[in-house]
Amino acid sequence: MNIKPSTTIRHDYNGFSKYCHEIDEPVILTRNGEADLVVMSHEAYRRMEARIKLQSKLLVAEKQIAEGSELLDHDQVMERMRRKIDAAI
């Protein structure tokens, strides 16, 4: 876990930003010795969002399988994806 005092960001924003990009993980900022904020690079945040969305979709799929929902075969999935891509263009 990466922990820094809040003064780090106030005294050297550029250095702190570089640090966040280099470690590519969240950094906990403390105030008066207590955890206050969590900071991370935008790239790390976007990857975290993508993982959460994927996990959510996988949970829905697992639930559908457990409930006995009809599954799509490969050709059906590919056709749906092609239609979505074509509609977006």
pLDDT tens, N- to C-terminus, the chain (89 residues)? 899 999 999 999 999 999 999 999 999 999 999 999 999 999 999 999 999 999 999 999 999 999 999 888 999 999 999 999 999 88
**pLDDT value at residue 83:** 95
Contact status, residue 9 vs residue 29, Cβ threshold 8 Å: yes
Q: Which fold has domain 2-40?
A: YefM-like fold (3.40.1620)
Distance in angstroms (rounded) separating the CA atoms of residues 33 and 15: 21
Contact status, residue 28 vs residue 8, Cβ threshold 8 Å: no
Q: Report, in angstroms and rounded to the nearest whole number, the Rg of the chain calculated over CA atoms.
A: 21
The full set of domain ranges for the chain reads 2-40, 44-88
**pLDDT value at residue 72:** 87
